[in-house]
Amino acid sequence: MKEDRRIKRTREKIRETFALLIEEKGLDAVTVKDLTERADFNRGTFYLHYQDKYDLLEKSEEEVIRGITAISDSIGYNDPSSWADSARMHPSATAYFEFLKQHGNFLKAVMGPKGDPSFQDKLKKLMIGNIKKAAGGKTLPHGDYIMAFMVSAHLGVVQHWLDTGMKETPEQMAGLLTAMNKYGPLKSGGLTS
């Protein structure tokens, strides 16, 4: 069933306002009253969509996880032809950064120092699962350390991009991450255009 546009716009406005308030006050200090006053909605409108701020947080985080999962699922780990030319970017890399940019304000807030520390753990678990799929069941010596390095580096790149205002395009970020994955961070040659 397709979501009504007005409902979608209302939820987006609530989420955007929530992100702004998290950055200003911190997640713990944000109240439903703060949210409704800033978004210029009455409390009844908020409660039509969410039980409380934690329900809003959970549903917003789940939406992001679902979106990233859908992009990851489009990669085709079991299709070697999708990775045959390791010099080219996989189309899902750009789609991934486009999705992150679309949810950038929320992600910056929730991943920031005043946000939800458990969200990064959810992202890490998702990334670890994707790395395991990409490895095709192969195990490497010290694989846990390699995985921790890759996940932390990847999240660090994403967080830096969000924190600095997403100045680079999704295509540039996809190119940078592809180059760093292929050549390593010191030999990646910078941003691609």
CATH number of the domain residue 85 falls in: 1.10.357.10
* Whole-number pLDDT of residue 135: 74
Domains in the chain: how many in total? 1
The CA-based dihedral angle spanning residues 67, 23, 122, 50, taken in that order and rounded to the nearest 10 degrees: -70
- For residue 183, pLDDT beyond 70: yes
Domain assignment present for 84: yes
The better pLDDT of the pair 192, 170 is held by: 170
Looking at residue 120, what is its pLDDT?
94
pLDDT by residue (tens digit) across 39-72? 999 999 999 999 999 999 999 999 999 999 999 8
Q: Which has the higher per-residue pLDDT, 185 or 142? A: 142
The pLDDT of residue 178 is: 85
Residue 87 placed within a domain? yes
What is the pLDDT averaged over residues 10-28?
96
Count Cβ atoms below 10 Å from residue 74 Cβ, excluding itself.
13
Report d(CA 133, CA 135) in Å as an integer: 5
Please state whether the predicted TM-score (pTM) of the whole model is above 0.95: no
Q: Which range has highest mean pLDDT (24-33, 68-77, 131-140)?
A: 24-33
Higher confidence at residue 20 or residue 133? 20
Q: Cα separations (Å) of 171 from 14, 83, 132, 141, 156? A: 29, 18, 25, 33, 18
> What does the pLDDT look like over 92-141, one tens digit per residue?
889 999 999 999 999 999 999 999 999 999 999 999 888 888 777 788 78
Residue 168: pLDDT band with limits 50, 70, 90: very high
Q: How far apart are CA 128 and CA 20, in angstroms?
A: 30
Provide the token pair at 88: 């080219």
By residue range, what is the domain housing residue 119?
5-183
Q: Does residue 192 sit within a domain?
A: no
